[in-house]
Chain A
Amino acid sequence: MSAVATQTRTHTATHTATHLADIILGSLGDLLAYIGIDTSRFQRQFDQNEKAIAAWIEEGSLEEVVLECHRPGGGVKPIFEFPVTYGSNEARFVDSRAAFARYLNKVSSVPSGTTYRLFCTFNGPRSEQPGWKPGTRASTAGLHSTSMGGLGEGPHARVSGRHLS
């Protein structure tokens, strides 16, 4: 008679939150670099932002992450939105970074001196996270919205992307 040791690991909401936060932060970092915005502040605040976004996804409060590009001459464009939806049926941890990388070819660079702001919007009560405070989003009136498709998915939630230009 022989015995076989088996190990079963459970996919938790924390795993999904870590997975999606990683995809969102990675997409933001690639976008900023691609369009030519200085990433020094993004790098300094990386851990703080990653923790906050993961915490909000885990508690199910995060509606979307928004990247606004503020041009030196005025005007806010492009804008990138990363909506999170909950209740995925996907049993695996999927990322579509290759498709996202191809989409970058459709994104134009921005004038020198353009800065960025990050916003998060919520679909209900949320926990307080360090470094984040209330703010007002720029208007998206007059901007054309293009779907960037799904960026990633886990057993509990998924994230996609929209490009407003």
Chain B
Amino acid sequence: MKRHRKIAAAPERSAGEVWRTATALLADTLDRSAAIERAEVERTMEVAGGIGRQLVSGGHLGKKPLVLVAGEMWLEVEIVSGDAAFALTENLGPVPGAAGVSDWTLHLPQVEPLAKLVRKTAKEDEHLSADEPKAQSSEAAKSNGQTSTAGVFNEAALAAWAKER
């Protein structure tokens, strides 16, 4: 299930504040799962915090979002800056869909000139990846401990959609 959230960066928030907001959003979301510790999410976001701040302040996450993949959940977190940030109405509540998941990965976009740093950071935590996220099939999601309520999952359509983004 695809979800999309936008977080306002400068001039509303500094890059550090943006990363803390993203951390709270992901922690609140994954905290719905009995199998995932909130502290574990916060640790991962701390590991990614250095490159995360660079990605935010460089404006890179406005072009390529962070992607959280957890079971069938596919959450894109876009960081909006400039005038658009000033006008943005945010929804920063927990994103539904993570209650049954047991594993998760945050995909950091490999954008130049930060791609090498992104790859280095991704190796420092098991929940980080610098790879393009791949849509999971319903079978994979089920084996991951999630009960599917979304019906048939069209992986090809999602991949095509992701390519267009």
Question: Do A and B share a complex?
Answer: yes
- Interface positions of A (Cβ within 8 A of B): 9, 11, 15-16, 18-19, 21-23, 25-27, 29-30, 33-34, 39-40, 42-44, 46-47, 50-51, 54, 92-95, 97, 104, 154
Chain A residues with CB below 8 A from B82, complex form: 19, 92-95
Q: Could you tell me how many residues of chain B have their Cβ less than 8 Å away from some Cβ of chain A? A: 26
B50 touches A19 (CB 8 A): no
Contact between B50 and A26 (Cβ–Cβ < 8 Å)? no
Q: Mark B5-24, 1 if CB is under 8 A from A, else 0.
A: 00001111111100000000
Residues of B within 8 A of A (CB): 9-16, 49-51, 53-54, 56-59, 81-83, 85-86, 113-114, 116-117
Are A33 and B57 within 8 A (Cβ)? no
Taking CB atoms, residues of chain A closer than 8 Å to B58 are: 26-27, 29-30, 97
Residues of A within 8 A of B53 (CB): 25, 29, 43, 46-47, 50
Closest 4 CB pairs of A and B: A43-B50, A26-B57, A22-B10, A15-B11
B12, B83, B86, B113: the one contacting A30 at CB < 8 Å is B113
A33 touches B54 (CB 8 A): yes
